[in-house]
Amino acid sequence: MRTESQPPQSPPPPPGEQPAPATRQPGDSLHAAAGMLPAVEGGTPPPDMGLAPTGTTGEPTVIPPGPTPGPTTGMMPSAGGGGAGPPGDAPPKARGFAGLSRIIDWRIVAALLVAGLAFGIWRGVTTRAKAEGKPITATPATPVPAAKVTRQDLYNEVPLPAEFRPYLEVELHAKVSGYLKQINVDFGDHVKAGQLLATLEVPELRDELHNAIATWEKAEADYTNAHLIYQRLAAVNKDHPNLVAQQDLDTAEAKDRTTFAAIAAAKADMEKYQTLCAYTKITAPFDGVITKRYADPGALIQAGTASDTQSMPLVRVSDNYLLRLDFPVDLPYVKDVHEGDKVDVSVESLGGKTFTGTITRSTLKVEENTRTMITEIEVPNPNLEIVPGMYCRVVLRVQRRPNTLAIPIQAVPPGYGQTVDVITPDGRAEERQVKLGLETPTHYEVLSGLQAGEVVLLGSRSQIQAGEKVEPKLVETPAQQ
C-alpha cells in the first residue's frame, strides 16, 4: 500500500474546553476543493490531480504511483492533515469556499458562452449580407431646407398715396357771343380731335361777313379800273412824250397803288369775319371723353374773351387715355427718383389690380413746408378702365442694389446674429460669419462671407449641430421683379 508522511497531530483539548478553531493555511482552498471531489470509480484519480493535500508547511506532496486503492480504501486525506477519509469529512468552512468558487466559475463560463454566441450570430449576418451584395445600413443624413446664394437686383418699396387725373382736360368756351343753335354731344361721349361738338347762331356776324366780302370785291374792281387808267396813260406818254401831263400820270399811278392796298385791307377784313364765323362751330381739340355738359340749345353763350362777363362754357373734355399721377416723395428717397423708372400702381377700387407707369418728371425742388418733392408718372389707360379721380397706391422702388449677392431672409433667423449655416460639398453643416447689407422683405444683401453658388440652410438651426451630416432640399425662393 501507498504510504504518506502524516502531519503531526494536535493534542486533544482538556476536558471541559472548546477545541481551538483550525488555522487556515495557504493551500486550504485548494485542499478543500480537492476534498470535495468524489472518488473515481475504479480507484484511479483523474490525470490532472497529481497533487496531494499539503501539510503544515504548505508544500504539495507528490503522490508516487502505486497500487490503486480499493473501493473501501480509495479516499483522499483531508485538508486538516489527518488520515485518509471520505470527502464529506472536510471542514464546513472549506466546503463553503469550494462551492462559491464553483458558482463564480460557472457564471464566468456562461457569460463567455453568451458573448461568443452573439458574436457568431452578428458575424454570420454580416457575412451573409456582404455575400448577397446588400449594403450595411448607415445612419441617414438629416433632410433640411436649403437655398443657393444667387445674384439679384434688390430694392425696397415705399407705398405712397396718389389720385388719378386726366392727362389733358379743358372746358370749351365760345369765342363769340351767340345763341346755342345745336349741341351734338353729351357727357360720357367719346370724341375725336376736330369733331363738331356744338354750333352757335350769330346773325349779325354773318351780315358783317357779307359786307366784308362786298367791300373786298369793290376794292378789286376799283383796283382794276385804276390800274388800266395808269397803264394807258403810261403807254401814251411812252409813244408821245410830253403829250400827257406829268401830274396826271403821277395821279394815275398813285390811284393804282391805293386801290391795290384797298384790296388787301378788304381781304383781311373779310378773313377776320370768316374766322369769327368759324368760332360759331365748337370742335374737340383732342381725343377724349365729354365729362360735363353745361348748356342746352337756345341758351345765350357769352364770348369767353370778355373779362367783365361770366361766360359759361359749353362742355368739358378730358383725355382719359393717358392719366397723370402726382405724388409727394419724402426727403430721404428724393435721391432714388429718376426719370424713366418704372413704377407699380395698385388700384384698390379695381380689386387691387396693378398697372405699370413711368416717372416722367419731377419738380426737382423740395417744398419747404412739407419737405417733399412732387413727382409725376404717366399711366396708359387705353381701355378707359381707370377713371380719373380714383385713389391708388404708388409703389416706389428705392435703395436699389443691382446684381448683388443675395440670400433668402429665412437663412438668418432671429437670435443668431450675422451668421449662416453653410452646407459644405460633403454634406455637413458649417456655421459661418457673414456681413449683411440691405434687408428687403424677402432677401438679405451679402457684402462678404459667401460666394455665389454656395448652399445655405433655411429656417431654425436648433436641431442641427455644427458638423452634422445633412441632406439639403433646395427650396425655390422668388426673386424680386
On average, the pLDDT of the chain sits at 78
98 falls in which pLDDT band (50, 70, 90)? low
Whether residue 208 has pLDDT greater than 80: yes
Question: How does pLDDT run across 396-452, given as a tens digit for each residue?
Answer: 888 889 999 999 998 998 888 888 989 888 888 888 999 999 999 899 999 999 999
What domain range is 209 assigned to?
A: 171-301
pLDDT of residue 27: 42
Q: Are residues 184 and 252 in the same domain?
A: yes
Q: List the helix and strand counts (H, then E) for the chain.
A: 4, 21
End of a domain among 399, 420, 447?
399
Whether residue 239 has pLDDT greater than 80: yes
d(CA 151, CA 156): 16
Q: Which among 326, 348, 315 has a CA at the least distance from the CA of 167?
A: 326
Which set of grid coordinates corresponds to residue 368?
419747404
Q: How far is CA 14 from CA 18, 22, 86, 101, 450, in A?
A: 9, 17, 27, 36, 101
Question: How does pLDDT run across 263-302, given as a tens digit for each residue?
Answer: 999 999 999 999 999 999 999 999 999 999 999 999 998 8
Q: Are residues 392 and 418 in the same domain?
A: no
What percent of the chain shows pLDDT beyond 90?
43
Check residues 2 and 262 and name the one with the higher pLDDT: 262
Taking a C-beta distance cutoff of 8 angstroms, is the pair 191, 288 a contact? yes
Q: Are residues 100 and 119 in the same domain?
A: yes
pLDDT of residue 64: 44
Question: How does pLDDT run across 339-385, given as a tens digit for each residue?
Answer: 998 899 999 999 989 998 899 999 999 999 999 999 999 999 999 99
Question: How does pLDDT run across 75-85, given as a tens digit for each residue?
Answer: 444 433 444 44
pLDDT of residue 473: 86
Average pLDDT for 317-325: 94
Q: Are residues 204 and 98 in the same domain?
A: no
Whether residue 190 has pLDDT greater than 70: yes
Which set of grid coordinates corresponds to residue 443?
432677401
**Residue 51 located in a structural domain:** yes
Check residues 452 and 44 and name the one with the higher pLDDT: 452
pLDDT of residue 101: 58
Taking a C-beta distance cutoff of 8 angstroms, is the pair 197, 284 a contact? yes
d(CA 478, CA 387): 33
Average pLDDT for 177-191: 94
The owner of cell 426737382 is: 364
Taking a C-beta distance cutoff of 8 angstroms, is the pair 314, 180 a contact? yes
**Residue 455 located in a structural domain:** yes
Contacts of 428 (CB under 8 A, 6+ apart): 467, 468, 469, 470
Q: Are residues 425 and 365 in the same domain?
A: no
Left if phi > 0, otherwise alpha if psi is -120 to 50, otherwise beta: which for 194?
left
Q: Are residues 58 and 108 in the same domain?
A: yes
308 falls in which pLDDT band (50, 70, 90)? low
Per the structure, how many domains does the chain have? 4
**Residue 15 located in a structural domain:** no
Whether residue 66 has pLDDT greater than 50: no
The owner of cell 345763341 is: 179
pLDDT of residue 219: 92
pLDDT of residue 110: 77
End-to-end CA distance of the chain, in Å? Answer: 116
Q: Say which CATH number the domain at 435 has.
A: 2.40.420.20
Residue type at position 142: T
Taking a C-beta distance cutoff of 8 angstroms, is the pair 97, 32 a contact? yes
**Residue 457 located in a structural domain:** yes
36 falls in which pLDDT band (50, 70, 90)? very low
Q: Are residues 359 and 407 in the same domain?
A: no
Q: Which among 216, 208, 248 has a CA at the least distance from the CA of 232?
A: 248
Strand partners, 354: 346
Question: What burial class does residue 135 get, using C-beta atoms within 10 Å of its C-beta: 0-12 exposed, 13-18 middle, 19+ buried?
Answer: exposed
**Residue 465 located in a structural domain:** yes
Whether residue 259 has pLDDT greater than 80: yes
126 falls in which pLDDT band (50, 70, 90)? low
Could you tell me whether strands 300-301 and 391-408 are parallel, antiparallel, or unpaired per DSSP bridges? unpaired
Highest mean pLDDT among 451-455, 467-471, 477-481: 451-455
Q: How far is CA 285 from CA 45, 317, 383, 429, in A?
A: 140, 9, 20, 71
Average pLDDT for 134-143: 64
pLDDT of residue 144: 86
pLDDT of residue 236: 87
End of a domain among 337, 370, 399?
399
19 falls in which pLDDT band (50, 70, 90)? very low
**Residue 224 located in a structural domain:** yes
What percent of the chain shows pLDDT beyond 70?
72
d(CA 448, CA 436): 7
Q: Are residues 54 and 89 in the same domain?
A: yes
Average pLDDT for 161-180: 92
Whether residue 61 has pLDDT greater than 70: no
End of a domain among 301, 333, 349?
301
d(CA 355, CA 343): 8
3-state secondary structure of 66: coil
Contacts of 441 (CB under 8 A, 6+ apart): 409
Which set of grid coordinates corresponds to residue 282?
365748337
**Residue 454 located in a structural domain:** yes
2 falls in which pLDDT band (50, 70, 90)? very low
Q: Are residues 130 and 220 in the same domain?
A: no
pTM over 0.75: no
d(CA 205, CA 176): 9
Other beta carbons within 10 Å of 148: 16
Q: Are residues 186 and 296 in the same domain?
A: yes
Whether residue 90 has pLDDT greater than 60: no
d(CA 193, CA 315): 14
Q: Are residues 274 and 370 in the same domain?
A: no
Highest mean pLDDT among 127-141, 222-236, 299-313: 222-236
Question: What burial class does residue 437 get, using C-beta atoms within 10 Å of its C-beta: 0-12 exposed, 13-18 middle, 19+ buried?
Answer: middle
**Residue 227 located in a structural domain:** yes
Q: How far is CA 246 from CA 230, 242, 249, in A?
A: 12, 8, 5
Q: How far is CA 192 from CA 185, 324, 362, in A?
A: 12, 20, 30
pLDDT of residue 481: 59
pLDDT of residue 34: 38
Q: Say which CATH number the domain at 365 has.
A: 2.40.30.170
Q: Are residues 292 and 207 in the same domain?
A: yes
Could you tell me whether strands 372-380 and 190-191 are parallel, antiparallel, or unpaired per DSSP bridges? unpaired
